[in-house]
Amino acid sequence: MILRPRSGHGFLLRLVICLLICLAAPAARPVAAPAQPEELLIGIEPEHNIFDQMERYRYLAGYLSQQLGVQVKLTIMSRYGEVIKRFRSLKLDGAFLTSYTATMGIDELKLEPVVNPVNLNGESSSQGYIFVRKDSGIRNVNDMRGKSIVFVDPATMEGYLFPLAYLQQHGVTDMNGFFNRFYFSGSHVSAIFAVLDGRADIGAAKNTVFNRLVGNDPSIGQELAIIAQSPKAPEITLCIRQEIDPDLRARLAAVLLQMDKTAEGRKVLQQFNAIRFVKSSRADFGGIEAMEEQARAAIAEHVK
Amino acid sequence: MNTLRLVQRILLTLLFVLALAPDLQAQKRIGVIMTGDVPYYGAMHDAFVAELNRRIAGEEKIEIILQRPFPDPIAWSNAARKLIAFDVDLIVTYGSPATLAVIHEKTRIPLVYAGLYEPDQAEMSGENVTGCGFKVPLSSIVRYFKRLKTVNTLGIVCSSIEEDSMRQYATMKEIAEQHNMKAEKIDIRGRADLDGLKTKKTDAVFITGSSLAHLWLADIMEILRREKIPTADIFPDFAEAGVLMTLFPPPQQQGQLAAEMAAQILLGKKPVNIMAYTFRDTELVFNLVEARHFGIIFPIELLIEATKVIE
């Protein structure tokens, strides 16, 4: 057997072909498009009764899983104020957020607002109320000096941001000195009951919760007086991470926006206590940003 | 010898005077009427004494003459008359009946009241009268009862010899009727009236701030617990006698404000120039031990409303 030396020309040609094949292989994969996840993990801000709340959202998650072909899982975020932290630590893909936390999420996490549910009264927005007992003698901000006030949570527009902005607007710059006492009740219902019972003189809470309680027990409306109302803002918004596949995001929005068109969708909506979903956009949160700006000094002073 | 007798007489006279006036150094005397042994008024009085000592310690020597009349119109009147006869510098009263008894005597001695239910409704005005009281939204008690069990008939323990208790009865009756409940009056004027608790069929009972009812609270609770009837009270259940829920104004702040008012008056300020005050702060206490006894389960969203839970 005679070993002949390889032709240098042919070897080089084969090497170039091999290199081209190797380079061509990764280029065939879509580099920019994110992979569609196998599941979507959606966070929920806790309400007064998280058991009822989970039940309502469970039907919606099941419907979305079926329609999207992607497992939609839910998780309750421990409390309002931890939304941003939890969003990161739980590696959430999205969350149903109240207006102030949605604004924070859009700002800090670059979340995309997708849809808002429209409640059974035909409203997709809510507003903050500042209220007192009618027999308290408190009619305006001047009468509030030296009294006690109950907020809901520092991450709520209706239960914190709005009252701070309102008080700031009416010349109350030193919250700690102006009120005898303030505290956070943790829920809108608790803030309302605290004022009803006399555990606080002034309260702030969401109008939808306030109106629901009054609807169930008209005597509550007879005993409380609303002193101020905030502008309206989206009550709950589904916000999604920008990194989620745009196609999936679009399909998610489409499924939610079309829900009221099918019998099955309407049934799920009913269990969710909504009549339909409507499209949401960043512009919906302009009012909250303005309110935040107005209350900035008060927030800084308050947390001292 | 005569000189010795004279010295002896002088010494005896001095001893006699000292015995009659136990505290000659006392520059100011405050008469206090605290009905019975109601723990709520007791806590208020403790806060009053502590705050008064803090405010005028070293400036004035204060003697406090405490009257604890049994809840009865004659006893209240006698207590008021005794303090007027002592010619005290100031009278302090806890609760409406004691306050009204002093006002009825038309004395010029300044009066500071505390622990009065809705004082603006009680006509406690007068040049020499000021003080502080409280307001408790009784409707909240009805609401909490409704969230715990079906209440068709609400028993209201009151005492027709006590003005504030009767005002609370009237208010609670009206609220109960607004909530489609029948209000059943249980009037306690004497111990024999406790039997009314056994005969009246009620689903829940509200105890007004009656001194008589609170004097016999343990007996009342024994009957109601046996009948498995849950109760709510406008006064705290310090002894944990078995009240399911209490919604009450903290007694300490009323005692402290009464002391502040008393100190101002003793230092020369006129009562008419001291604004009366109504406290509206309340504390809500749920007794879960009693709830278990009554087979009542407090929902979590209700429990979080409480300022204190007894477990």
> Is a pLDDT exceeding 60 seen at residue A14?
no
Contacts of B283 in chain A (CB under 8 A): 199
Query: What distances in angstroms separate CA B253 from CA A74, A169, B92, B120, one per listed residue?
Result: 47, 33, 15, 18
| Residue from B145, B179, B304, B308 to probe the interface with A (highest A Cβ count within 10 Å) | B304
Q: pLDDT tens digits, residue range B188-214?
A: 999 899 988 888 889 999 999 999 999
Torsion of CA A94, A98, A102, A104, to 10 degrees: -120
pLDDT of res. A37: 64
Side chain identity at A38, as an amino acid letter?
A: E
Block residue for tokens 């009862």 = B145
How far apart are alpha carbons B27 and B15 in whole angstroms?
20
pLDDT of res. A7: 43
Report the candidate in B148, B151, B152 with the shortest Cα–Cα distance to residue B297: B148
Query: What percent of chain A shows pLDDT beyond 90?
Result: 67
State the average pLDDT over residues A105-116: 94
Cβ of A199 under 8 Å from any chain B Cβ? yes
Measured in angstroms, the CA of A215 and the nearest CA of chain B are apart by 14
Tokens standing for residue A41: 């993990």
Judge: A198–B140 Cβ closer than 8 Å, yes or no: yes
pTM, to two decimals: 0.81
> Is a pLDDT exceeding 60 seen at residue A34?
no
Confidence class of residue B115 from pLDDT cuts 50, 70 and 90?
very high
Mean pLDDT across chain A, nearest whole number? 85
> Is a pLDDT exceeding 70 seen at residue A15?
no
How far apart are alpha carbons B205 and B241 in whole angstroms?
14
Q: Give the range among A157-161, A297-301, B35-39, B44-48 with minimum mean pLDDT.
A: A297-301
Tokens standing for residue B288: 């879960």
- Say which residues have a Cβ less than 8 Å from residue A123's Cβ, sequence separation at least 6: A208, A235
* Helix (H), strand (E), coil (C) string for B92-128: EEECHHHHHHHHHCCCCCCEEEEEEECHHHCCCCCCC
Report the candidate in A174, A158, A148 with the shortest Cα–Cα distance to residue A300: A174
Provide the terminal-to-terminal Cα distance of chain B, rounded to the nearest Å. Answer: 77
How far apart are alpha carbons B4 and A244 in whole angstroms?
112
pLDDT of res. A186: 87
Q: Which domains, ranges and CATH numbers included, belong to chain A? A: 39-124+234-285 (3.40.190.10), 128-230 (3.40.190.10)
B310 phi, psi to nearest 5 deg: -95, 120
Pairing of strands A128-133, A224-229: antiparallel
- CA angle centred on A209, ends A146 and B295, rounded to 5°: 95
Q: pLDDT tens digits, residue range B262-271?
A: 999 998 999 9
> b/e per residue, B65-98, with b = 16+ CB within 10 A?
eebbbebbeebbbebbeebbeeebbbbbbbbbbb
What residue spans of chain B are helical by DSSP H? 2-20, 39-56, 73-85, 96-104, 138-148, 163-178, 196-199, 211-215, 217-226, 251-266, 288-294, 300-303
State the average pLDDT over residues B248-252: 96
Measured in angstroms, the CA of B39 and the nearest CA of chain A are apart by 22
Residues of B with CB under 8 A from a CB of A: 135-137, 139-140, 143, 175, 178-179, 247, 249, 280-284, 300-301, 304-305, 307
Q: Give the range among A44-53, A188-197, B47-56, B67-76 with minimum mean pLDDT.
A: A44-53
- CA-nearest residue to A49 within chain B is B301
Q: pLDDT tens digits, residue range B153-194?
A: 999 999 999 999 999 999 999 999 999 999 999 999 998 999
Q: Which domains, ranges and CATH numbers included, belong to chain B? A: 2-135+250-279 (3.40.50.2300), 138-248+283-310 (3.40.50.2300)
Query: What percent of chain B shows pLDDT beyond 70?
Result: 92
Judge: B305–A219 Cβ closer than 8 Å, yes or no: no
Query: What distances in angstroms separate CA A84 from CA A87, A110, A124, A136, A187, one per listed residue?
Result: 5, 11, 23, 38, 19
